[in-house]
Chains A and B, each alone.
Chain A
């Protein structure tokens, strides 16, 4: 029997974090994103404060 997974709706920074943490805990994750790529709003912005790291 296949194991039950978790559904994460939205591939922005919050969804990615939830998905990664679940996947790192050895659960199967289905990450659904409406647009053609992950990243959400954070991928659109330039650097983040205060460390000015790039947002990607």
Chain B
């Protein structure tokens, strides 16, 4: 957020809207109206003096009306930009009264009550629509009493209550009496998966995981919570790592997952407690559950103004009121060329997918911006001299109550003043906020600080932000150090504030000691090769190659098998689409043929050398004739996109697979459907009664814990096709996960066609019985003590996706990128870096990252391609200077331990000329892990930025505790 606010190539137009769009792709003229803030954006520093003197108090809509703000305000502490705004509907000055308190209090004189709205025209090549969603207002669900009962909240309102900058300062309290609730209940699918006037037919995608997260988070906030009920229809934990989080919540004995939807909620008028009435589906008894607070997981609905914007843009809406995509296999494209939909614009998405879609949209947009690059001179800052005595500035962060709720930050601030080398100390509510960043920048200059320490949260997410602030102030960013007093103090020692404060001081003292010894480092520049290699020619690899080629990038696509198209080319008609898999692939390949893409089939990666911008990949092709040697080729590329896909789980000896000819996997059925679209025959005969078993090889206790994401929606698509052929279908499922656009509607259609859905528990799966063919499926339901028996002609196993071990292991080894516990390749950050890896220049997409459906694979491929394009837009790249180096060649005895240890082949033994071998480290290959430095028996190798001296002083300072 902050990055976007201060990027030199981004002109931020907040409090603004699009009023007119003319022209076409490559050449739009857009008129934007900037509404009046009545506060000058250029001069406002966000000090807040104006709000202090404003006499008007109104509900803060950012807190959904739960908190209060003044008529002149900034909605939340970390707001970017920090510029205040006057709510003229609330401001006294619009009436006959003359107030102007704020204008008098404002020192930079930013307030202008007569500021007119401004209209401005811009020339753009393409447009991204990322207008998001609003929360459904659940007042229509009168039986739940929202807005009548104070302690019934929506999901977003609950988020604000948990949030440190929210109306209760992050204290978990219920609105009626500000008491901490002991029992919390979540009701899922309020307004989602609903027909008629009570909401929308689709699944809202994010609410199951949001509830699970909040149930875990609530317990972190208040360990004394006794019970958390989650009333649900199906738990939809379909993303990477989601099922694992669900299992974590399930393991907590105080979190109760209760299948069913409450009939009504009543309030006890005296205590304001709530009574939830719900029928227990196992015992058929209506139960009455008391809860202190109820959270309605409200649907996401199209953002206000979507219809108006659609008219302005000249694009259509779908039945639910979201923007309409051109084609269900592509989330990005609207019907009008040059206008792209991302985030929740075309239908709801979660954060991870919104981020990937954002990168994907950037790629599509850049197709229309050929030759429009801007070169900007870097802002010149006067460098701060760093060779004198260290003058350390310490900034201690409250993080709202996230830290200050436990750690005595005032004491930490006082303590900091006593530490050697510390020249300046300050304490801020949110150190990462835009205002504080500017303040830090000024203080660095003003106080001549040449080292900065921030005692706040994790360097993983925030170090780059503070380093950038140092850089802007003219301070070398490597003279910055962080003490994590949130994760390591306030979070883990929440129950012991004194000890947490003590530890915070320890960590700060260590950080200051290290800062004292930090040295300025310079980034290194290496040339950037603009060629891109894509490994894997399935739908993800093809999509990435095509979009890159359209953009004009130089692409090489390699595929292990003898033809492109992967699994998709064998699929029948796709869900909610007129296309079948073969046609989809053909369409893309036809387009691909028109462009200059180097395609190499039957190729395997044999060796990978080099680093970002400068990879050398050796591939091998089988010999053209027997007896000859395999052909090798070296490809020089700047970045690599890994799109190797996945395998399907092999259900060996499960549910009679391999034993009975009438037990097929969903892929085997799909191939039959793709071939014989008119009438399905299994083993030569048309079946009358077919059963599907879901989650075969997915969501297992032992084995694959994850959900395979694609299989529910595929089963429903297949069930509909069979039902339309007059075949009776029964689906044995655990949770039906139909989250994609149109999938919930398909689920409803399937039920309408007579498809029967029967839930089973993991511990009691259905059994497939028969002598020489599968004839019966039995399912015992222990809670209701019933036994179900179904005669069948065929059984379809919906199998999960698994990483193809051989390929994954080999590429993990060659590319040096890690894999997660699930066996798939690990992304840089589960939310903010879904298509990147920890190795710069290597990207992942499609099922190499996690199981995905077709549309998901395509946009993740476009996202990865988009990220690669950021690299190709440069002629050189900066490499982090945090690497190992041979600090003293004289000490090196050429023992070669470092060479053997290094995973990245950075150290090499080379002749020095006088016949003596010494170690040399290729800085471009070195990742700075420090393994070699730690093992080097003579101390010849050191790790830059983590020198022995810097670590020693940290340890020393830890051991001297001088209260």
Contacts and interface: CB of A to CB of B under 8 A. Distances in A.
Contacts of B12: 11, 31, 33, 38
A39 B245 CA distance: 25
B153 interface: no
Contact of B13 (A6, A25, A31, A40): A31
B28 A11 contact: no
Interface in A17-56: 17-54, 56
Contact of B373 (A3, A21, A36): A3
Given A4-B123, A13-B351, A32-B17, A44 B159 contact: yes
A6 B128 contact: yes
Nearest to A40: B132
Interface of B is mostly: mixed
B422 interface: no
B75 A35 contact: yes
B30 A10 contact: no
Contacts of B132: 10, 12, 14-15, 40-41
Given A7-B28, A23-B7, A37-B74, A46 B217 contact: yes
Nearest to A42: B351
A43 B81 CA distance: 13
B245 A50 contact: yes
B1 A43 contact: yes
A3 B341 CA distance: 23
A5 B461 CA distance: 29
Contact of B458 (A10, A14, A39, A53): A53
Contacts of A2: 123
B901 interface: no
A7 to B, nearest CB: 4
Nearest to A48: B831
Given A23-B7, A49-B245, A37 B212 contact: no
Given A10-B130, A36-B37, A50 B372 contact: no
B355 A17 contact: yes
B501 interface: no
A18 B359 contact: yes
A18 B124 contact: no
Interface string B75-89: 110111101010000
A36 B127 contact: no
B118 interface: no
A51 B827 CA distance: 13
B460 to A, nearest CB: 8
Contact of B829 (A9, A12, A22, A51): A51
- Count class of interface residues, chain A: 35 or more
B638 to A, nearest CB: 14
A35 B399 CA distance: 24
Contact of B16 (A15, A23, A29, A34): A34
B343 A26 contact: no
Contacts of A15: 128, 130, 132, 342-343, 358
A5 B376 CA distance: 14
A10 B125 CA distance: 17
A30 B932 CA distance: 47
Contact of B830 (A22, A33, A42, A51): A51
Contacts of A9: 18, 127-131, 309
Interface stretch (B509-517, B865-873, B946-954): B865-873
A12 B343 contact: yes
A27 B366 contact: yes
B355 A49 contact: no
B377 interface: no
Nearest to A9: B129
B4 A50 contact: no
Contact of B128 (A7, A38, A40, A51): A7
A44 B60 CA distance: 12
B357 interface: yes
Contact of A5 (B15, B124, B209, B349): B124
Contacts of A43: 1, 76, 78-79
Contacts of B497: none
Contacts of A51: 829-831
A15 B18 CA distance: 15
Given A14-B344, A16-B358, A27 B1 contact: no
Contacts of A33: 12-16
A52 to B, nearest CB: 7
A38 to B, nearest CB: 5
Contacts of B354: 12-14, 17
Interface string B154-166: 0010011011101
A53 B461 contact: yes
B4 A20 contact: yes
Contacts of A27: 9, 365-366, 369, 372-374
A28 B614 CA distance: 28
B5 interface: yes
B808 interface: no
B213 interface: yes
Contact of A30 (B122, B355, B374): B122
Interface string B803-836: 0000000000000000000000000011100000
Contact of B432 (A31, A37, A39, A56): A56
Q: Which of B76, B132, B363, B866 has the most chain A CB atoms closer than 10 A to its own CB?
A: B132
B122 A17 contact: no
Contacts of A50: 213, 241-242, 244-245, 830
Contact of A26 (B9, B26, B170, B355): B9
A39 B1 contact: yes
A31 B829 CA distance: 24
Interface string B163-203: 11010001000000000000000000000000000000000
Contacts of A30: 10-11, 13, 30, 32, 122, 124
A31 B944 CA distance: 39
A36 B35 CA distance: 10
B343 A14 contact: yes
Contacts of B26: 4
A49 B18 CA distance: 34
A25 B870 contact: yes
A16 B354 CA distance: 10
Contacts of B212: 49
B27 interface: yes
Contacts of B388: none
Nearest to A13: B354
A33 B582 CA distance: 41
Contact of A25 (B81, B131, B162, B362): B362
B15 A34 contact: yes
A27 B130 CA distance: 18
A5 B374 CA distance: 9
Interface string B306-322: 00010000000000000
Given A7-B18, A19-B128, A54-B461, 19 more contacts: A4-B123, A7-B28, A7-B122, A9-B131, A10-B132, A13-B355, A17-B354, A18-B128, A20-B10, A26-B376, A31-B11, A33-B12, A33-B14, A34-B15, A38-B80, A44-B159, A49-B216, A50-B244, A53-B461
30 contacts: A5-B369, A6-B126, A6-B366, A7-B124, A7-B126, A13-B351, A18-B130, A19-B4, A21-B362, A21-B866, A24-B7, A24-B870, A25-B873, A27-B9, A27-B365, A28-B372, A33-B13, A36-B15, A37-B81, A38-B14, A38-B80, A43-B76, A47-B213, A49-B209, A49-B216, A50-B244, A50-B830, A51-B829, A51-B830, A54-B457
Interface of B: 1, 3-5, 7-18, 26-28, 30, 32, 37, 62, 74-76, 78-81, 83, 85, 122-133, 156, 159-160, 162-164, 166, 170, 209-210, 212-214, 216-217, 241-242, 244-245, 305, 309, 342-345, 349, 351, 354-355, 357-359, 361-363, 365-366, 369, 372-376, 399, 402, 432, 457-458, 460-461, 829-831, 866-867, 869-870, 873
Interface of A: 2-54, 56
Closest 10 CB pairs of A and B: A14-B343, A17-B358, A15-B130, A21-B362, A23-B9, A10-B130, A49-B213, A37-B79, A14-B354, A46-B162
